[in-house]
Amino acid sequence: MKRPHPVSRTVPHIVVVGAGFGGLMVARHLREVDADVTLIDKYNYHTFQPLLYQVATSALTPEEVAHSARGIFHRQKNLRFYMGKVEGVDFAAKELELASGETITYDYLILAAGASTNDFGVPGVKEHAFYLKTIPQALHMRAHIITQFERVDADPKLLEKGALNFVLVGGGPTGVEMSGALVELFTHVLKKDYPNIEVSMAKVILVEMTDRLLGPFHASSRQNALDVLRRRGVDVHLNEAVVKVTPTEVHLKSGEIIPCQTLIWAAGVRGNPLVEALDLELTRGFRIKVNEHLSVPGHPEVFVIGDLAGSVDENGQLLPQVAPVANQGGRYVAELLRRKLHGGPKMTPFRYKDPGIMATIGRAAAVAELPSGLRFRGFTAWLAWLFLHLIYLIGFRNRMSVMLNWMYNYFTYDRSARLIVDVIPDVPAYSQATFVKQEEKLKEPVLRD
Ligand SMILES: Cc1cc2nc3c(=O)[nH]c(=O)nc-3n(C[C@H](O)[C@H](O)[C@H](O)COP(=O)(O)OP(=O)(O)OC[C@H]3O[C@@H](n4cnc5c(N)ncnc54)[C@H](O)[C@@H]3O)c2cc1C
């Protein structure tokens, strides 16, 4: 079934796949371009991934870190949003294939479908680990964490079986942020919720393969993150790796076996599974190879931006999979298409301008580094982190709500979003076919014993 062309057939049709950072940026900047734009996403909302860990640890609600995709584009007359999962592309026919069986034709295609979690083939991870890339995954993790406390409250013997051992894998920003937030949740909030549980028995264990946390940061920032986490009670294992996971144990390379029912995998990303259906040349990390104008070699009408793109810097090094790369790629491709359709000088190659890096470690603790070499840490870096995340969050209502929530959490040490509302991760409701799959999934137990 062919999906009709959205507005007219008199101007080119630009299709953007993915309403993440890159997709939103390119779609917005195509506002003034004489073209029909279709934005497709498997969810009907944009997810602000950097704050997902706050949903998983009960600090924020999903609605505060996501925004309706249709709502974002109310005033953009040349854009239509379509909820659907893209499963393939016929590059010769210039046609997208959707999970619903529909097809959509394009004149220009921008792939911005992001990345997925890389389990590196470690046995048991796919089956038993919790991931943090989507709202359903964050909600599922939140429900599981609090359920573990409910279970131990009902049966304290489960403590000996590791029911309150939480192992995080990966000492990058997500692992650091998540472990810092977990100890705070336990010591400030769940301690009061569960007076019958000795909450100090709950362990947060962060496992990192290399000898350092926050790899790309300066040594002093890395040391600060390590010191703060250890001081706050996180058990950090450096030069250690997870080699096997079962529903009740995590096996480490050193031979240690940790009784554990919660493994949070923050160890790596790889290109979206969509790449497997595309038959395009890939770079390391299953990202699509692009040229200096972010288009696919041999397909000048197809562009790839953000986490999915194997875009490189002037030294040929792959760019990091972070929001500013996706945003700048989106702006670049929109301008390239504007010049192509309206006339203008040829674009110079895409060059990423690094705005600096930052990571929060927990309450009033963060590290931030500017390209000039200026470094901040502690309360100042934490305030900068809060401020920047508020600025980049989509929607005025979300910004106000998050700001109020953060102030409330800071002054009261409380976290109001600690409800057990479980969902089935990775099963978006985008088509009838999915509903059938969802029903099948519902028959499976959701929470792990
Ligand atoms: C937990 C976490 C914390 C992070 N923290 C930071 C941070 O602090 N700072 C930072 O700079 N970066 C951070 N990142 C990385 C940053 O979020 C990504 O680099 C950025 O989101 C990439 O943007 P993107 O547009 O390429 O993809 P995404 O933002 O991932 O968007 C991809 C979109 O494509 C949609 N999609 C996927 N597959 C399909 C399909 N087949 N059909 C239709 N739609 C599809 C998805 O639903 C999604 O909306 C974090 C990431 C995570 C997961």
Tens of pLDDT, residues 221-237? 999 999 999 999 999 99
Whether the CB-CB separation of 403 and 410 falls below 8 Å is answered with no
Distance 134 CA to ligand 1 centre (A): 8
Ligand 1 touching residue 176 (CB < 6 A): no
Whether the CB-CB separation of 308 and 286 falls below 8 Å is answered with no
CA dist 153 and 201 (Å) reads 13
3-state SS class at 37: strand
Q: What is the structure's pLDDT at 404?
A: 92
In the set 64, 177, 208, 249, the catalytic residue is 177
Residue nearest to atom 6 of ligand 1 (CA): 50
CA dist 358 and 59 (Å) reads 20
Taking 50 as the pLDDT cut, the residues of the chain under it are 429-449
CA dist 184 and 15 (Å) reads 43
At how many degrees (to 10) do helices 173-184 and 219-231 cross? Answer: 20
Tens of pLDDT, residues 22-76? 999 999 999 999 999 999 999 999 999 999 999 999 999 999 999 999 999 999 9
Q: Which atom in ligand 1 lies closest to the alpha carbon of residue 48?
A: 17
- Out of 57, 169, 322, 369, mutate this one to test ligand 1's pocket (max ligand atoms within 8 Å of CB): namely 322
444 is catalytic: no
DSSP code per residue over 55-75: HHTTSS-HHHHEEEHHHHTTT
Ligand 1 touching residue 272 (CB < 6 A): yes
Ligand 1 touching residue 266 (CB < 6 A): no
Q: What is the structure's pLDDT at 395?
A: 83
